[in-house]
Chains A and B, each alone.
Chain A
């Protein structure tokens, strides 16, 4: 069961839901699929561009562009490349603008907790980017130019006042003996829009992004296949921005340089039709380096460096017998980090994880499939995690199927929560300490008479434990006719022991000391629905919608006890009612999209996408610390994108489009949303026949 922009055959093969190839018609949980053609037709360059058009995914704008799935924070969605996790998160956010979609064949999205197969971070869901395999020899090359001017409405090409964007892409596939090789090179030069919180100023901020991907595939005999994927990504930003803390405005300028490398060799061995082995290695590193100078303090500068490395080796065995498939795996991984944000750059922090997972899939008759699975993660730094999952598919009729699943997810504390040692000297000197050092550091300060008050939360400081979530998902898929497909799914996630920053002490000079505690409990629930209709051989319509309700359980309990307050229309306090309550901040209750496409193999295509997101709370403006109807909201909005393409001959095609045609902007709450952008892409493809000529 799946949703996508085009009607999908149930024969379509996906891998993320079971860790092995499965036909969509045999999947026990909802899967969203984004195909390469759809990515290209939308004119998407980065993962951000294409994910913003998916129902049930909301983008967040701090620490880069993050994603919320099923109402959970960006740190709770695992992002994989060919099944291996991408690293380099900042405050838990993996910036999805960093990821180029060139060389990506397919994006698979599964929602709900999925740690039973993938371990930490798979609490809200998993996004798996499937790279292209090397093909027959070919050369594909494209160049794109885009221009925007958020203030004037329309950008003027090749002028300094407008925001310009140039992307060049080149892909080469060739054979080296029996070795199939593919290179994808991608360059993006753009005038990024600078961010200045709560200011309307914007200036072009040059950014350069370079991506390279090489995949190599070789059959070793007829039973063994070796595949190696290597990806390198570099981002370079010129920065110029202002930050404010406690009323102090600091203008800074400098540069940021991020390098990411990952290499993953996979050996696939088919012992027989019934037994398969996968041996996977993974090495990845991320180095983020930032240097800033301050206009107001010319003699000082800020250096930030974050180095992260991740090594993993894993063995997976699939055994098939009659109507049963058993998948088991065992692996070990080592995670390391060095950062100026911790006690000292030279002090390496590390965590080892060893894990085991097993999954048993059974087909009962023609109509039922059940999958039972569990995973055990043993951590060197904190408590172990056991995450089970059970899911079910019932094919009531050829046109009607139901799925249900219940499972657990977890997220391990990250290095920041364990080791951060940060003091903001500019803004009154507040400090945040990771839990591994907080007790010792604060006791030391207390001994030398630097602590005025220890908060009750100080006594609760212990070593951090993984966060846990339990998710339930029930879905239905109905296809009354071959040209129509509808899906409806209901979800609920209950999250326990969420990590939150709390004040644990006050210094004698009044500045506050913070650390992390496993204290929050929350829920997210909602409904997701989609509808695809191929109404004519050339025309198709796709819509999607998500309703989302969230809440912090502690806040709800205090509201029930009458311990939370709001103000009435006179400004006087009154006890808060439960219908004043909004839930977790920064989440829209309604979100949806409508896509209409015309496609004709000879004449080209036209693609219109309308995206809607309802208002969301951004600031607690009545001082009660709880998000309620009196707080400040960002406006709901509609975004419209159009694109079209024409084949000129067998090898050359042209594409043009306008992103954000309505020029919707919100510089405060959607700083990453560019103004109306007009773009043109020229693409050439030479396959093996043409290359021979």
Chain B
């Protein structure tokens, strides 16, 4: 059994590296390496954005939460779906047009500097440092999660799992950059999607009917059917507020910047939202149906619902494909974050500040070397699986969401946002997240992204209205570009 499953894994990993080699041949410039030369079709854009966003949580965490606590976990799925939709609707087309029109911005810090004609470079440097710092820890934390998973599932030594996983990710990201990351994300997203359809479907056939599932859930704990049990208003708002994070995640926004044509966005949005919502439903059904399949208290770790179902219900070869979907979910997030970190070094520091005249070939190699250096730092950090540094990751989703989210939204939808408004908004949003998270009890139990988002947006608007106004140059450019998306 182990051999068939292992064989499937090896084929999967070789497939990922092969994609990297193909993408290598198509990568000539820095724009190719960090943004795929803005050539992604709607399907690849959609699944790449989705797979970069959803990590192992979709296949392990969410089914486990439904299995262990019932329907009160649906709030996060609702919040994420609405947030992702609004991101596609409000941000994607505007950001695609603006980043290309305003001096061909290749990164989020690039866009912010160009949008506000910031000659001090503060916006660029500050945002690039934050991206570099948090994504290195984020990558490291993802590697820890992946290695722990394979240690537990296959009795593989932690360090071996860690270095094999890191080597494969480094190989294809190093070689093929954004195209390799996006194409592998597409394959990985497809694997995740299939797994989240097949597992609940087959498990439901074993259980018999949906009525049998609801009866079993009600018998286990009638409160499992109630979305409000054990939930406070703050708890519900906190879960739903996760959706606010989308507007500020650099690795997801990069997909919007890389789509081939703005006119492809409606189809990409449809594919992306269909993938996400069906995936979320699949994960939730998996957790619910598993209650009927296993009976109460039959699993020591609820987060292993997906893994155990893959192993007991399917032929080892199929089981290997389904388990590879978990690895795919983890890898597709890590590779995107790794590449965004490399982009911050290459575009925002090396090209813009250190070597303005550097030729494209040199820049691509700086990008590749940055990928290796960041990945090695992240992997070395991950060798200490209990490192306290990794706890910084818990700030990342809220931090990016609160510091960048309102600024991205306002900069694309309000001509009056000034450079100082953006700068003070970003800093105040980030500080609010850190301070709020350090407090406990009462209102401070609210997920920090919400106060951070409100403070960032509020400060940005107030400073823009009452401080030094947006420059004439930025207003003229905003109006010119705005006319293009109307």
Pair from one complex? no
Interface positions of A (Cβ within 8 A of B) = none
Interface residues of B (CB under 8 A from A): none
